[in-house]
Structure 1
């Protein structure tokens, strides 16, 4: 991700732009990344008719995608100083709890476990040429009234090439 780090510090706005544009499906659906920081990001689902189900509420698939995009953004922000070494970042498992019918614009805030991120960033590269890490993320979904409408836990596996 060119330009992710400037003078040794993460350029979170550049990372946000890249995360927001890199996956064609996210762009097709219209999930937008609005914020990226260290181990935290926000993605939004616009209030559009095509994002709704037959009951007029936001489709579960759109909610899930926004949550996953937010956590992927959080990962990108968290590992910004090593982003060029990321070989793969794969969702392995998720647990979903939809708490209320979701209506209007939805905001997903994704976060990652700071201790795991610190361990990944501090890891001494191995001789194998590749590092494998497991980490978890959590996304909270809120509507325009700031009502919590869902929460999703994610388990990921990522691989870094050794420096």
Structure 2
């Protein structure tokens, strides 16, 4: 099964399209997403709104999940079960979210094959375009069997 993960994310997640998320890099288990700075996405102090940071990071985590497990969509639905985010600095300017899978494909698929509902984390570093870290997020995903 071959597909463009970035295109699939933007087709299947209308909110990511609405925000204007784009993808700089999509490799198995590693994604870099980007969001241009826009006044309508700012908070009361002129930086990116906390919900915007969360959303671009969650989108990057979804693309990371798809980059490794996209071939499993015919038998299982991916769902977020938990997300934690730590905001450390006001995010001024363009936002970059770099996501990395924290599990191996083999362990997750083996649990799915065994009839379990596997959970796995994606860690996302959120920074400004100049590389300044502004937030960190962990998203926990699961697969719900379609049977």
Q: Residue deviations 1:79-116, cap 9 Å, x none? A: 13333333x2222222211111101110001111133x
User: Is 1:152 aligned to 2:137, yes or no?
Assistant: yes
- Quick check: 1:62 aligned with 2:62? no
Aligned-pair CA distance for 1:131:
4.4
User: In the TM superposition, what is the alpha-carbon distance from 1:161 to its structure 2 partner?
Assistant: 4.5
**CA RMSD after TM alignment:** 2.0
| Equivalent runs, 1:1-163 vs 2, <5 Å | 5-6=1-2, 11=3, 14-86=4-76, 88-115=77-104, 117-123=105-111, 125-126=113-114, 131-161=116-146
Cα deviation code 1:98-141 (max 9, x no counterpart) = 111101110001111133x3212345734xxx541111111000
CA distance in 1, matches of 2:70, 2:19: 26
CA contact (8 A) 1:33 1:73 kept: no
Q: Contact 1:45–1:63 (CA<8 Å) still a contact in 2?
A: no
Which stretches in structure 2 are left out of the alignment for 5+ residues? Answer: none
1:46 Cα offset (Å): 0.9
- Which entry has the higher C-alpha Rg, 1 or 2? 1
